Amino acid sequence: MVDTNDSMIKQKLDDVHYLFIAGNPDLPTVVLLHGTGGDENDLVPIAKYLAPNHPILAIRGRVLENGYHRFFERYAEGKFNLVSLNDQTAWLVKSVTELLTKYDLNTSSALAIGFSNGANIALHALLTHRETPFKNVMALHAMQLTPITEPDKLQGNHVFLSHGNFDPIVSRDNFDALVDNLAQAKALVTVFRLNQSHVISSEELQAAKIWLKANDIDEA
């Protein structure tokens, strides 16, 4: 389906359901990764608010849990299938790279914006796949899935992390472990904490927009 007013393309490439919105190809492509139960449409309004002139590529997770889309399997809340995590991360990196190539976009400077499950796989890709197309990651309400003992070095990679102090899913200790893992990998980490639960707020989006501008990502 093509919306000529918005240059929107929504289709399936092999086993990849995605949505593409054209933008300035000289700007980093914004790759959107939804949370559990979402799809490729969920974060588009956020991308348009944060980076209105950038190309947008939104991916749908291909794992189903009780009918809800996810990016990798879990056994229960907080109990993850690490084989699935590794397999689906490799699939995501490959798929996004192929799609960026398809639309003649840079394959090494994308900005990933993920929420919850989507944020988790974006960070896992950054920590474990040197060839990942994500140069920078905005991870909204992410958690530490498993310690990465030998992460790919992330000098020059910017990461924005948000965490709710009343989050019933991501504990403070777990979140702090994630921050430490990224710091060990030499990523440039910005943390935004706020008094809320496991939801996206206007306050963190405002902080994220400031982060994008401060690091020359919004119009780089």
End-to-end CA distance of the chain: 30
Per the model's pLDDT, the better-predicted residue between 77 and 193 turns out to be 193
Predicted pLDDT at 152: 85
Q: Is 40 a member of any domain?
A: yes
Q: Is 220 a member of any domain?
A: no
Predicted pLDDT at 10: 55
Q: Is 42 a member of any domain?
A: yes
Lowest-confidence pick of 12-21, 83-92, 199-208: 12-21
Name the residue range of residue 46's domain. 2-214
Distance from chain centroid for Cα 98: 17
Name the domain count of the chain: 1
Mean pLDDT, the chain, rounded, equals: 91
Interval 124-177: pLDDT, tens: 999 999 999 999 999 999 999 998 888 889 999 999 999 999 999 999 999 999
Q: Is 154 a member of any domain?
A: yes
Tokens of 212: 């994008």
Interval 17-47: pLDDT, tens: 999 999 999 999 999 999 999 999 999 999 9
Q: Is 58 a member of any domain?
A: yes
Q: Residue 84: pLDDT band by 50, 70, 90 thresholds?
A: very high
Q: Residue 210 is part of a domain; what is its CATH number?
A: 3.40.50.1820
Lowest-confidence pick of 31-45, 51-65, 83-97, 142-156: 142-156
Q: Is residue 1 scored above 60 in pLDDT? A: no
Q: Is 219 a member of any domain?
A: no
